[in-house]
Amino acid sequence: MHLIVINPNTTASMTRLIGESARAVAAPGTTVTAVNPDMGPASIESHYDEALSVPGLLAEIARAQAGEQAADGFVIACFGDPGLDAARELAHGPVVGVAEAAMHAASFLGRGFSVVTTLGRTAGRAWDLAERYGMTRFCRNVRACEIPVLALEDPESDAFAAIVAESRRAVADDGAEAIVLGCAGMADLAARMTEAVGVPVIDGVAAATKTVEGLVAMGLRTSDRAEFAPPLPKTYIGLLSDFEVVKPDIC
């Protein structure tokens, strides 16, 4: 089985961390390749960033499917789950977003969870996704540490201590029985945080990797009927000309 984990931002060091976290939970015999686009934002911290990350994300899916080792499934490793619906139209195998997987995993482990994320300006997106995924009955709160995404990699930022402190407040004040990490760049913190906070801490990269792996193992893929059918053939012009969808050959 070959899974592609896509970091939709262009920061290669974060992609390496995400890949390591995915490979740590993958079953023997599952190959995980972590990639990031060669165009787009360095980090995703706004609706603008998210929108401009999607073309590069879709290009990575198309590239993976055209390669010699075709991908069996995909993980979108950004907590905003950017481009998820479009990716499902394009991909041949199942596609799962890290927010989607993490929230569902948390709902298995307690009656309520809080999301601990980076910047407060992204909290609205997390609430939107909780509603979309039917998780509002479980989501107690969305809390921000006000730490920029790229600062998670800076040892001088003391990000771990800030995330632990906010998670402890979520347990004490929100009644959270589990914590969902609200950024793929936090993927390497989950085990240490579970010990430090005293409740399950869910990394969406790991949760999404195991979810896709399970779907592939069951022989399942996204339905191609109606909404998630392949995109209709049409012309794209200008900067998006490479994304033109051509009519498939009929044998």
Q: So what's the pLDDT on residue 215?
A: 98
**If you average pLDDT over residues 178-198, what whole number do you get?**
95
Which range (40-49, 137-146, 150-159, 213-222) has the least confidence?
A: 150-159
- My answer on whether 90 and 8 are in the same domain is yes
Residue 189 covered by a domain: yes
The residue range of the domain holding 73 is 2-97+207-243
User: How confident is the model at residue 67, as a pLDDT?
Assistant: 74
Question: What long-range pairs does 54-60 form, CB within 8 A, spacing at least 24?
Answer: 54/8, 54/82, 54/83, 54/86, 55/240, 55/243, 56/8, 56/10, 57/6, 57/8, 57/82, 57/83, 57/87, 58/83, 58/86, 58/87, 58/90, 58/243, 59/242, 59/243, 60/4, 60/6, 60/35, 60/36
Please tell me the predicted confidence (pLDDT) of residue 68. 73
Residues 45 and 140 in one domain: no
End-to-end CA distance of the chain: 28
Q: What is the pLDDT of residues 105-118, one digit of tens each?
A: 999 999 999 999 99
Residues 196, 222, single domain; the answer is no
What pLDDT sits at residue 248? Answer: 65
Both 199 and 112 in a single domain? yes
Confidence of residue 245 (pLDDT cuts 50, 70, 90): confident
- 249 within domain boundaries: no
pLDDT of residue 250: 52
Same domain assignment for residues 17 and 111: no
Task: Give the pLDDT confidence score for residue 212 in this predicted structure.
Answer: 98
Which segment of 49-53, 65-69, 160-164, 235-239 scores lowest on mean pLDDT? 65-69
At 125, give phi and psi (nearest 5°).
-65, -40
pLDDT of 249 reads 59
pLDDT in tens, 96-106: 999 999 999 99
Helix or strand run (H / E) with residue 140: strand 139-144
**Total number of domains in the chain:** 2
pLDDT tens-digit series, residues 132-146: 999 999 999 999 999
Q: Are residues 86 and 13 in the same domain?
A: yes
Averaged over 62-85, what is the pLDDT? 93
Flag whether 51 is in a domain.
Answer: yes
Q: Hey, CA dihedral for 83, 87, 93, 94, is it positive or negative?
A: positive
Residue 108 lies in a domain: yes
Do both 108 and 84 map to the same domain? Answer: no
Residue 8, both tokens: 């939709």
Query: Is residue 211 included in any domain, yes or no?
Result: yes
Residue 250 in domain: no
Average pLDDT score, the chain: 95
- Residues 200 and 31: beta-carbon distance below 8 Å: no
CA distance 199 to 197: 6
The answer to whether position 200 is within a domain reads yes
Please tell me whether residues 188 and 216 are part of one structural domain. Answer: no
Q: Is 34 helix (H, G, I), strand (E, B) or coil?
A: strand
Q: Is the pLDDT of residue 251 over 80?
A: no
Residue 154: pLDDT band (50, 70, 90) is: confident
Q: Are residues 81 and 117 in the same domain?
A: no
Contact between 228 and 85 (Cβ < 8 Å) = yes
pLDDT confidence bin for 156, thresholds 50/70/90: confident
Residues in the chain: 251
Question: Are residues 154 and 227 part of one domain?
Answer: no
Let me know whether 73 and 115 are in one domain. no
CATH number at residue 199: 3.40.50.12500
Residue 248 lies in a domain: no
The answer to whether 37 touches 69, Cβ cutoff 8 Å, is: no
Average pLDDT for 193-204: 97
Looking at the fold, whether 25 and 85 belong to one and the same domain comes out as yes
What is the rounded CA–CA span in Å between residue 58 and residue 68?
A: 18
CA-to-CA distance for 172 and 170, rounded, in angstroms?
Answer: 6
